[in-house]
Amino acid sequence: MVEDATAPIENVAELQLGKEFQDIHILSNAQVAVILQASAGYAVSRDEELNDVYRKVQRYVNRFTSMTNPEKEHQEVVDELDNLQDALTAFRKETEDGDEQELHPAEVAALMNLVATDTMVEEAVALIPSLSRFPEAAIDEILDIIRSTIIRIVS
């Protein structure tokens, strides 16, 4: 069943996720890695086999997380990631009208997944078009927050 292009269009670039996805909790790859690790330990302790989909996802998140450091204490990395997510979710910018803009959970997850230490504003906006509603200085601030967390985790 192919998605009907004329149906209420889902377009994450404009932060339209579809009506069933309004209140979901979105996770970044790094957070998924943490959940799966905990769940794997639990399953192994009960001698259960991990299913195929599970193992594929675990391989995927372990490969594509820029925010990991095998030499660091696991809990330390988890705390840094939680702090980063809190910082991004709490990020507020006042617009000219006096309204406050904040980051949508989809943007927070995308930022945590895609941004590296050398990502510039132009690239971030190309990858996450909905960020264009923020002024450049604000986006730079956001990237800075992420950059410093990555550096802290990786060093």
Partner 1 sequence: MFYVKTLSHEIVLEPVHFGQKLRATLVRLLKEQVEGLALANYGYVVNVIEVPEDQIKSGVIEYDTGSVIFTVQYTALLLRPFIHEVLDAVVSQCNPLGFFAFVGPLRIFVSKHSMPEDMFNGFDGEKDAWISDDKEVVIASGSGVRLKIKGRTVEQGNITAIGTIKDNYLGLIDDGEAQGTV
**Positions that interact with partner 1 (CB under 8 A):** 1-3, 9-14, 17, 20-21, 24-29, 31-32, 35-36, 39, 51-54, 56-57, 59-61, 63-64, 106, 109-110, 113-114, 123, 126-129
Q: For residue 75, what are its two tokens?
A: 């809990």
Q: CA-to-CA distance for 120 and 93, rounded, in angstroms?
A: 19
Q: Give the torsion sign (CA, 141, 143, 148, 153).
A: positive
CB neighbours of residue 68 within 10 Å: 19
Q: Give the torsion sign (CA, 122, 123, 127, 128).
A: negative
DSSP 48: P
Q: Which residues pair with 11 in a beta bridge?
A: 16
Q: Say if CB 128 and CB 26 are below 8 A apart.
A: no
Residue closest to 104 by CA, chosen among 82, 83, 131, 78: 131
